[in-house]
């Protein structure tokens, strides 16, 4: 069954790609960064992207009532305020932290059947758990169930740990009353078959002159811009066949689960920044499959 979804804080379209690949249709996108918008549009030929009301920039400038009806809200909302590597200001960050409330307002106005949210693992513990409790209570008050799980990209055949918290909820009034309290089942991890040696096209070792393989790579992180993050490992690269090799956007795309055909019409600096901000496509795809299955069996 084809479900309609919206893609908020969309980045380069990891959610879009994942949900579209399992037969669903995106009807609205919001992304404020001009370079990410360029990459997004270069990869999706949906006609709605030509409509500025449907391919929006600043989410706070959108009339939520005019968003087309949809079934699933998807959002990898800005994580820097909650990240251990960021400023850790949470909801006090007026530029990013409060963007969660645009999500809750859209849910309240549009009442979709479900949501899928993604953020950094540290969100669960931020401000002694107060931030996460606010998110939980806000979504429950609107009328949604709430389940969450920390999932690594390496759980779904991508050779980087990249632990992220996934939050899933269903509108109770649209769920068969018999199953109100039925827990959502997150997908079970799969065996990691792909290694960094596969990604880099040569034997990746942990150190120079070492025969010990680095199977799982460094987590791709935000790079450049005004980010407070100074970790440069996603630029400085890997030891491949005993030579230091700098990772490139093509390899970064593969680490994130994007297809080889994915177009990055921006500089390498921007491309790596966009990948550091993106979601792991394999994980989103599997979580989305579970959400669709849950809706199929337990919704009215």
**In the chain, domain spans:** 4-190+277-298, 196-266
Residues 6+ apart with CB under 8 A from 185: 290, 294
CATH number of 4-190+277-298: 3.40.50.150
CB count within 10 Å of CB 2 equals 9
What is the pTM (predicted TM-score) of this model? 0.88
- CA–CA separation, 263 and 52 (whole Å): 22
Full pLDDT tens readout for the chain, 300 residues: 789 999 999 999 999 999 999 999 999 999 999 999 999 999 998 999 999 999 999 888 999 999 999 999 999 987 555 544 444 444 555 555 478 888 999 999 999 999 999 998 888 887 777 888 888 888 999 999 999 999 999 999 999 999 999 999 999 876 665 555 567 889 999 999 999 999 999 999 998 888 999 999 988 876 544 443 444 444 557 899 999 988 899 999 999 999 989 999 999 889 999 999 999 999 999 999 999 999 887 765
Q: Is 79 a catalytic residue?
A: yes
Q: Tell me which of 59, 79, 200, 292 is the catalytic residue.
A: 79
Q: What pLDDT does residue 84 have?
A: 44
CB count within 10 Å of CB 211 equals 8
């Amino acid at each position: 069954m084809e479900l309609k979804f919206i893609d908020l804080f969309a980045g380069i379209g990891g959610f879009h790609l994942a949900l579209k690949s399992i037969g669903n249709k995106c009807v609205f996108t919001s992304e404020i960064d001009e370079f990410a918008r360029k990459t997004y549009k270069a990869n999706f030929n949906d006609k709605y992207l030509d409509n500025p009301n449907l391919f929006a920039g600043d989410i706070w400038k959108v009339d939520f009532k005019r968003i087309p009806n949809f079934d699933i809200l998807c959002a990898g909302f800005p994580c820097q305020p909650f990240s251990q590597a960021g400023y850790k200001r949470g909801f006090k960050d007026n530029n990013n932290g409060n963007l969660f409330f645009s999500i809750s307002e859209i849910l309240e106005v549009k009442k979709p059947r479900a949501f899928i949210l993604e953020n950094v693992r540290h969100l669960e513990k931020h401000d002694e758990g107060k931030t996460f409790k606010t998110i939980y209570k806000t979504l429950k008050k609107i009328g949604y169930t709430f389940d969450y799980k920390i999932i690594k990209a390496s759980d779904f055949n991508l050779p980087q740990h990249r632990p992220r918290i996934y939050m899933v909820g269903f509108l109770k009034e649209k769920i068969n009353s018999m199953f109100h309290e039925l827990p959502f089942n997150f997908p079970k991890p799969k065996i990691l078959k792909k290694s960094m040696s596969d990604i880099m096209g040569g034997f990746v070792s942990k150190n120079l002159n070492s025969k010990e393989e680095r199977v799982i790579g460094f987590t791709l992180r935000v790079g450049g811009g005004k980010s407070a993050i100074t970790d440069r490992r996603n630029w400085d690269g890997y030891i491949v066949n005993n030579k230091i090799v700098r990772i490139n956007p093509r390899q970064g795309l593969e680490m994130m689960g994007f297809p080889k055909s994915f177009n990055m019409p921006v500089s390498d600096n921007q491309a790596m920044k966009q990948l550091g901000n993106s979601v792991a496509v394999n994980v989103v795809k599997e979580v989305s499959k579970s959400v669709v299955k849950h809706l199929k069996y337990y919704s009215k």
